[in-house]
């Protein structure tokens, strides 16, 4: 799957109080192409207390600005009080299996010394993503000997029975108020539940960056390509222009990556809904065309947008 430049098509949806639990944000769009010309897009949306639930909408796969339906109920609601996801359940990756559609999601829990703690949960759908049931009440990946701070934003592929996860790993909290620093790592599993071994760093922020997150990994011939987003070292302090941008990297094996950010093919606009931030890339194919979904300003406050790949 190769692309040169992405041709922006504009914003396609913004959460603005359609429901009490959909007060703001259409964050981290996650496409699931259906067989009838529709694409079902999962996304994280927040209520008035800032808690995130997984929502869904159906749109025309060729032109997702044509929104056909918006779900009346969350596809995945908050977890039980005290659980790892009682403050948020945000979608990140889908894996289609014979027994259902598996959602790897980010569980949020409010914290004391830092704003929040995140872990990775697993839920399954038997209705193509309109609703999900947790496989476990606890996370499938969390803090541990190799992950002292937090884990978030998983992307999972299954290759020859091997489950592979690329995820963001917290390495520190800096500043006052504290802001997270994280890298993208890789880890393996035999079943998608038990992830073992020492995760391997893949995308490490440069000296003028603080974070790399939301990996989206595709096979490209004999190798791999990853779209992700990264932010500069002053994004939360004195320079909004250091906020998230979309990058791209290539790898022969999914472990060792070379960044090709200049080839990502999309940048912030001079003005408008995505002028300060482009973030959380997600790709899908329909009728031979590669589509990109992403967020603009405010981590999804301004909504989600759409772009179409142009041949390299």
- We report the CATH number of the domain holding residue 162 as 2.115.10.20
In this structure, is residue 28 part of a structural domain? no
pLDDT at 4: 63
In this structure, is residue 35 part of a structural domain? no
pLDDT at 293: 98
Q: φ and ψ at 100, to 5 degrees? A: 150, 180
Residue 96 exposed, middle or buried by CB count within 10 Å (0-12, 13-18, 19+): exposed
User: What is the number of domains present in the chain?
Assistant: 1
In this structure, is residue 46 part of a structural domain? no
Q: β-pairing, 116-125 with 133-134?
A: antiparallel
Cα torsion for 56, 297, 141, 260, to the nearest 10°?
110
pLDDT at 61: 98
In this structure, is residue 204 part of a structural domain? yes
Condensed to tens digits (0 to 9), the pLDDT of residues 260-299 reads 999 999 999 999 999 999 999 999 999 999 999 999 999 9
Instruction: For residue 224, give both structure tokens.
Output: 């791999």
Condensed to tens digits (0 to 9), the pLDDT of residues 54-75 reads 999 999 999 999 999 999 999 9
pLDDT at 7: 96
CB 217 within 8 A of CB 191: no
Q: What is the CA radius of gyration of the chain?
A: 18
pLDDT at 232: 87
In this structure, is residue 96 part of a structural domain? yes
Residue 304 exposed, middle or buried by CB count within 10 Å (0-12, 13-18, 19+): buried
- The full length of the chain comes to 312
In this structure, is residue 51 part of a structural domain? no
Q: Indicate the pTM of the whole model.
A: 0.95
Domain extent at residue 273: 6-13+82-309
pLDDT at 1: 45
Q: Which residue has the tokens 């829990």?
A: 109
Q: Mean pLDDT by 10-residue block, N- to C-terminus, for the chain (312 residues)?
A: 78 97 98 96 98 98 98 98 98 96 98 97 98 98 95 97 96 91 96 92 93 96 95 65 89 97 94 96 96 96 96 69
pLDDT at 305: 97
In this structure, is residue 73 part of a structural domain? no
Q: Within 13 Å of residue 165, how many CA atoms lie on the same side as its CB? A: 31
> What is the full DSSP assignment across 98-134?
TTEEEEEEEEEEE-SSSSEEEEEEEEEESSTTS--EE
In this structure, is residue 43 part of a structural domain? no
């Amino acid at each position: 799957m190769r692309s040169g430049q992405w041709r922006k098509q504009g914003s396609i949806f913004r959460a603005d109080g359609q429901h009490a639990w959909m007060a703001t944000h259409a964050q981290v769009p996650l496409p699931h192409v259906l067989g009838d010309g529709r694409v079902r897009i999962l996304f994280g949306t927040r209520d008035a207390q800032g808690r995130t639930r997984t929502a869904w909408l159906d749109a025309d796969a060729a032109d997702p600005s044509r929104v056909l339906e918006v779900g009346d109920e969350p596809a995945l609601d908050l977890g039980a009080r005290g659980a790892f996801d009682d403050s948020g359940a945000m979608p990140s990756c889908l894996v289609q299996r014979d027994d259902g559609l598996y959602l790897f999601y980010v569980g949020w829990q409010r914290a004391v010394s830092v704003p929040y703690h995140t872990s990775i949960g697993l839920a399954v759908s038997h209705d193509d993503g309109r609703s999900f049931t947790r496989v476990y009440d606890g996370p499938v990946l969390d803090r541990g000997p190799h992950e002292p701070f937090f884990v978030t934003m998983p992307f999972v592929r299954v290759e020859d029975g091997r489950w592979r996860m690329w995820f963001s790993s917290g390495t520190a909290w800096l500043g006052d108020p504290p802001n997270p620093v994280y890298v993208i790592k890789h880890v393996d599993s035999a079943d998608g539940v038990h992830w073992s071994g020492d995760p391997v760093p893949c995308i490490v922020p440069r000296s003028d960056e603080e974070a790399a997150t939301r990996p989206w990994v595709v096979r490209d011939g004999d190798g791999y390509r990853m779209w992700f987003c990264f932010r500069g070292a002053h994004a939360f302090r004195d320079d909004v222009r250091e906020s998230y941008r979309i990058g791209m990297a290539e790898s022969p094996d999914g472990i060792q990556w070379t960044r090709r950010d200049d080839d990502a093919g999309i940048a912030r606009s001079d003005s408008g809904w995505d002028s300060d931030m482009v973030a959380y890339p997600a790709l899908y194919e329909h009728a031979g065309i590669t589509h990109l979904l992403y967020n603009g300003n405010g981590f999804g406050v301004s909504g989600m947008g759409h772009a179409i790949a142009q041949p390299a």
